[in-house]
């Protein structure tokens, strides 16, 4: 379950920085499943212009996750723009996620 979803910006040419994120999940564990759903909703709502999201299943790539310093799942890392930001949990607290990702201002 290593999927890469990319939405290219079409409608808003002002956005120059591309948000790159990686979400580490643990197979079909409830928190992981929820996290994917929550993140996708957030992305759709707040990251319309364009973003890159990689979902890494720790069950399939444990040693990669180890090398990346993953401790708990689910765990979200925003790789770009720097500095890197880490959010753990099923991302049910949307305002916290937005704050962490710096997406508050883009609320419509």
Partner 1 sequence: MNGSNTPTSQPLPRTVTGIKGFDELSHGGLPRHRTSLLLGGPGSGKTVFSLQTLVNAARGRDEPGIFVAFEEDSRQIVANAATFGWDLSTLTKDKLFILDAHLSPTVVQSGEFDLTGMLAILKAKKEAMGAAWIVFDGIDVLLTLMRNPATEMREIYRIRDWLADNELTAIVTAKTDGAASEVWHYGFMQFMVDCVVRLDRRMEHGVSVHRLQMTKYRGSDFAAGEFSLSFGPSGIEVVAPEPAEIRHEASTERISTGFEHLDTMLGGGLFRGSSTLITGAPGTSKTTLAGKFADAACRRGERTLFVSFDEGADPIMRNLSSVGIRLKPHVKSGLLRMYSGRTEACSAEHHLIKLRSLIHEHQPRCMVIDPLSALAKIGGLETARAVASRIIYMVKDNKATVVITSLIDGDDPQAEATDLQISTIADTWIHLSYLVLSGERNRALTIVKSRGTWHSNQVRELALSDTGPALVDVYTAGGEVLMGTLRWEKEVEETARKKQRRTDFEHKQRELQFTEADTRARIKALELDLQRQQAELALYSRDDEARVLSSSERDRELRRIRSADPATAPTTVKRRDAAGSGNGSKARKETSDVR
Site for partner 1, residues 42 to 101, rule: CB under 8 A: 58-59, 62-63, 65-66, 69-75, 85-94, 96-97, 99-100
**Closer to partner 1 by Cβ: residue 15 or 68:** 68
Largest CA distance in the chain: 40
Of 27, 37, 102, 104, the one binding partner 1 (CB under 8 A) is 27
Burial 26-50 (b: 16+ CB within 10 A, else e): beeeebbebbbebbeebbeebbbbb
Please, which residues have CB within 8 angstroms of residue 105's CB and are 6 or more apart in sequence? none
**Closer to partner 1 by Cβ: residue 15 or 88:** 88
Of 31, 40, 54, 106, the one binding partner 1 (CB under 8 A) is 31
Question: How many residues at the interface with partner 1, by CB under 8 A?
Answer: 37
Please, which residues have CB within 8 angstroms of residue 2's CB and are 6 or more apart in sequence? 54, 55, 56, 57, 60, 61
Residues in the chain: 108
Sites of contact with partner 1 (CB under 8 A): 24-27, 29, 31-32, 34-35, 38, 58-59, 62-63, 65-66, 69-75, 85-94, 96-97, 99-100
């Amino acid at each position: 379950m290593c999927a890469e979803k990319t939405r290219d910006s079409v409608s808003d040419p002002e956005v120059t920085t591309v948000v790159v994120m990686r979400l580490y999940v643990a197979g079909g564990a409830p928190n992981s499943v929820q996290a994917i759903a929550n993140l996708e909703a957030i992305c759709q709502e707040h990251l319309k212009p364009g973003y890159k999201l990689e979902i890494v299943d720790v069950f399939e790539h444990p040693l990669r996750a180890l090398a990346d310093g993953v401790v708990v799942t689910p765990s979200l890392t925003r790789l770009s723009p720097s500095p890197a930001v880490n959010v753990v949990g099923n991302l049910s607290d949307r305002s916290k996620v937005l704050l962490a990702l710096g997406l508050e201002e883009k609320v419509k």
